[in-house]
Amino acid sequence: MIELKIEGSIKKINELQGKKGAYRNVADQYLPIGPQTEKEQNLNWDIVYKSIVENIFHLTCKNRDWDELRAQLVDKIRNNRETKDLIDILQQTYLEKEGFKKSTPFYYLVCNGKAQARTKTMVAIFDRLFYFSEKNTPITKGNNFLETLVNENFISLCDEIIKDKSQYPYLPFLAKLFHNDINTLLKNSDYFLDELHNFVELYSFLYLTQLTVNLVTPDSRYKEPESRKLYFILENEKASQERHDCRTYGFNYLFSKNTGLAWKLFPYLGYLDLITDVPIWRIEPQQDEAFIGKINELNKLIAQLFEIPTIHFNDIKAAINHGLTTQIEIFKKSERSSANEKVVNVFKDVFCRNFKTDRKKAGMHFVLKTNMVLLVTNLIIGTHQKMLIDEVIEGFQQRGIWFDIKSKGALLKLYENIGNIEKLSDSGDAVYVKSTI
């Protein structure tokens, strides 16, 4: 309950009076980055992939490792008189780790690692992205009867798992798109295996960037999130400081040292965690006076702890906004600024690693590489086979990838070079983009 959370926070902050060094900024409910270096994050992606595939098929291997599962598979196939003669060839091909990995998504279920803090948060984020998804029938059919045989026997060794869906996603618009996109990937098991890593990298990036813009921007903070402006260029496209949208709502919009929104994400989430476990936009604006009074009391106690002036507000949004401002002041006036810098650096250098480019005089830009352009294009088109280019561009925008007029032209040129454009008239009035799957 919201009120119980804030009451516990008030009690905790009251007990810290005179011990401001013990005040902790905890943001791990929605942020998979802590105030450590990249290496110290200990984010285990194998566990994240495992959870994603568990969500897709509602299957689990629990914590068995590959050697244990392989031995069970071998025994099961060898002890079946209809398949025992195939065991030698299977052991040389699909029952070797790399062969299994290349042939089936069930490979990702085999992981016995123990999740640390950042990994748990990343797993929880993807769990919430699956909020609108339904159980998918496990893909048993392989490219040949041997793959099918291995898949069927593997599934028989798994248990059914029902993931908890009690936590509503912070970005429901992105979760709905994720649901559609994961289903598109699953239409082709080979494509799923080829693109899973890119897909997870893409949605990790989209989640963090859209969370930042929706939460940190004051006029969107209390509204249900939607795709907010973030402008990208293509990797072979010329950049320029004269391009207003890319300059205003591009890389520096998030990461400029002085005005970048990303610098407020960690402090903001830490403060909001003291108030509620639900997304801040889900708090009813017409809360009663008692609840607003508790926010003012929390703000007052935090301000006293750090000897910062505070103001009482009668409006819930104004009271929360004041608390957020106070939290930023705390970070600016203490060693906490270095902790925040580590968070921003991991965000920028790890999660944005393949989505940024330094164009020297033209500055830093968000970039979409050709492999990602094609992946997102195929996800947008889905089962339609082809779509009007304006609809494709709208699909990018819905996912948080915006293009200015020059980038739209570069995108059309890229499609023409690849050969997945279809024009229904010489005038070019109807330009269709075709899937490459």
Does residue 89 share a domain with residue 2? no
Whether residue 348 is found in the same domain as residue 388? yes
**286/358 same-domain check:** yes
**In this structure, which long-range contacts are made by residues 34-42, counting pairs with CB atoms below 8 Å and at least 24 apart in sequence?**
34/117, 34/118, 34/343, 35/266, 35/339, 35/340, 35/342, 35/343, 36/342, 36/346, 37/342, 37/346, 38/345, 38/346, 38/349, 38/350, 41/118, 41/346, 41/350, 42/116, 42/117, 42/118, 42/119
Whether 175 maps to a domain, the answer reads no
Cα three-residue angle 156-162-34, rounded to 5 degrees:
115
> 44 and 25, same structural domain?
no
Do 429 and 359 belong together in one domain? Answer: yes
Expressed as residue numbers, the domain containing 120 is: 39-169
Residue 189: inside a domain:
no
Instruction: Tell me whether residue 25 is in a domain.
Output: yes
Q: Is residue 191 part of a domain?
A: no
The last residue of a domain, from among 143, 169, 195: 169
On whether both 72 and 134 belong to a single domain, the answer is yes
**Nearest 10 degrees: Cα torsion 5, 11, 16, 17:** 130
How many domains, in total, are found in the chain? 2
278 and 339 in a single domain? The answer is: yes
In a domain, 351, yes or no: yes
- Note whether 84 and 22 are same-domain residues: no
2 and 78 share one domain: no
pLDDT (tens place) for every residue of the chain, 437 residues total: 566 699 999 999 999 998 988 999 999 999 999 999 888 999 999 999 999 999 999 999 988 889 998 999 999 999 998 888 999 998 888 888 888 888 999 999 999 889 999 999 999 999 999 999 887 778 788 889 999 999 999 999 999 998 888 889 999 999 999 999 999 999 998 999 999 999 999 999 999 999 999 999 999 999 999 999 999 999 999 999 899 999 999 999 999 999 999 999 999 999 999 999 999 999 876 678 889 999 999 999 999 999 999 999 999 999 999 999 999 999 987 788 999 999 999 999 999 999 999 999 999 999 999 999 999 999 999 989 899 999 999 999 999 999 999 999 999 999 999 999 998 766 557 899 999 98
Together in a domain, 386 and 278: yes
Judge if 365 and 247 occupy the same domain: yes
Same domain, 265 and 414: yes
